[in-house]
Structure 1
Amino acid sequence: MTTLWDISAPVAPGSPVFPGDTPYAQTWGATLGPGCPVNVASLTLSPHVGTHADAPLHYDPQGATAGALALDAFIGPCRVVHALGCGPLVQWQHIGHAITPALPPRLLVRTYERMPVDRWDPQLTAYAPETIDRLADLGVVLVGIDTASIDPAESKTLDSHQVIRRRGLRVLENLVLDAVPEGDYELIALPLKLMAADASPVRAVLRPLR
């Protein structure tokens, strides 16, 4: 059997969100019982809950929505790189050991020993914008991280988001990479076709390259 690494954060009541964002909530519009053959739930949530793909609309007023994104960047060869304990920003020296001439066009960075799926982390590690620029120079089309944002939580300028806007990169946030060894994999993390949304939840998985 093919091994799959599920790198998606669980989504449930209590899942952490950026302070002030809409948390996950669920109600039942229909429940199994006499005269009703099904359970049907209604969901309320920010599209940034759990593992998600930001769309350009999130950081660019003229940017594309999640549903308008081409899917190519979200599926294909990727490299998982460990940068545990790197501090507030992923700098080039934290990932340089894993950068080779055969670098895949997708790069996911692990910064946590154990990703906090049950709490908001205001001290989250982000990407240094110059790191993303250098990755784009090497042909990377998607960057991912196991924290809630590629920018520091307190940032008002979103410098790393502005680099991916300028360079046309795609981004995945809130990945769970705790159990994934460094190395190359196939990434599958397709956003939903949400035609008016600034982001989309994804069910992100990795599988070995054949």
Structure 2
Amino acid sequence: MKKLWDISPPVDAQSPVFPGDTPYKQQWAATLSDTCPVNVSAITLSPHVGAHADAPLHYDPQGAAVGALDLLPFLGRCRVIHAIDAGPFLITIAHLQRALNDVPERLLVRTYRQFPSQHFDTQLTAFDPACVQHLADLGVLLIGTDSASIDPADSKALPSHQAVRQRGLRVLENLLLDDVPEGDYELIALPLKLMTADASPVRAVLREL
């Protein structure tokens, strides 16, 4: 069996969310009893809680919803690069250049020494939009990060999201990369077929090549 790395953080009521976003909440619609044979719950959450895929609809009013996206970018060979020393500023192409030779179509970037599983990091490490453009020029189809956003938390213009929009890239955020060595893997991180949503939770894993 090839080794698997689960790169999805746990999702529960303690999961951090972007300030003002909808946190995870679970209620029981039915519980096991003498008259009920099952437990059934209802959950409420932002689709940006935990590991998730952004859809163009998230940053483009005319953009596609997540359920309409081609799955190809979310499945296949990827490279993990550590850029821990980049934070809490912007990841530039200089932080990644040493590991971009023959880069595959999917690139995941680790920015944290330890993923912030109990709080939202307002000083998160984002991407320089010029870096996004350069990666697109290299043929990258998907950018993933352990950060909550590819833009600074206080950004209003979202220049890196707009660069992604312009170049047709896909984005994974909130990945848990603490225990993943640098190198190449197979990525499996399929979004749900949510036909009107701006994002989707994913169960993201890496598999040994």
The TM-score, its normalising length taken from structure 1, stands at 0.98
1:94 lines up with 2:78 in the alignment: no
Residues 37-68 of structure 1: CA deviation (Å, up to 9, x unaligned): 10000000000000000000000000000101
Match of 2:32 in 1: 32
Distance in 1 of aligned mates of 2:92 and 2:119: 25
The residue matched to 1:131 in structure 2 has which SS?
helix
Q: How many residue pairs are counted as aligned between the two chains?
A: 208
**Distance (Å, rounded) in 1 between the aligned partners of 2:107 and 2:135:** 9
> How far apart are 1:12 and its partner, in Å?
0.1
Residue identity (%): 67
Q: How much is the aligned-residue C-alpha RMSD, in angstroms?
A: 0.6
Offset of residue 134 of structure 1: 0.3
Q: Does 1:197 align with 2:174?
A: no
Aligned to 1:147: 147
Alpha-carbon distance, 1:9 to partner: 1.1
Kindly report which structure 2 residues correspond to 1:150-169, keeping only aligned pairs within 5 A, or say none.
Answer: 150-169=150-169
Counterparts of 2:42 and 2:194, CA distance in 1: 16
Instruction: Please state if 1:126 is matched with 2:126.
Output: yes
Match status 1:137 vs 2:137: yes
Deviations 1:70-94 (A, max 9, x none): 1000000000000012121101111
- The Cα of 1:14 is off from its aligned counterpart by 1.6
Structure 1 segments (4+ residues) deviating >6 Å: none
The one-letter amino acid of 1:99's match is L
Counterpart secondary structure, 1:162: helix
| Structure 1 counterpart SS, 2:85 | coil
Partner residue in 1 for 2:20: 20
SS of the aligned residue for 1:163 comes to: helix
Residue aligning to 1:62: 62
Query: 2:109 is matched with which residue?
Result: 109
How far 1:103 moved relative to its partner?
A: 1.0
1:184: which partner in 2?
184
Amino acid paired to 1:142 = L
Q: 2-side partners of 1:158 and 1:119: how far apart?
A: 22
Residues 94-124 of structure 1 deviation map (CA, whole Å, 9 limit, x = unaligned):
1111110x21000000000011111100000
| Structure 1 residue runs without a partner (length 5+) | none
Give secondary structure in 2 for the equivalent of 1:85: helix
Task: Identify the residue that residue 2 of structure 1 maps to in structure 2.
Answer: 2
Q: Which moved more, 1:109-118 or 1:85-94?
A: 85-94
Taking the aligned partners of 1:103 and 1:198, their CA distance within structure 2 comes to 28
SS of 2:95's equivalent in the other structure is helix
CA distance in 1, matches of 2:92, 2:198: 27
SS in 1 for 2:109: strand
Q: How does 1:63-78 map to 2 (within 5 A)?
A: 63-78=63-78
Following TM superposition, by how much is the alpha carbon of 1:22 offset from its aligned partner in structure 2, in angstroms? 0.3
Show the counterpart of 1:47. 47
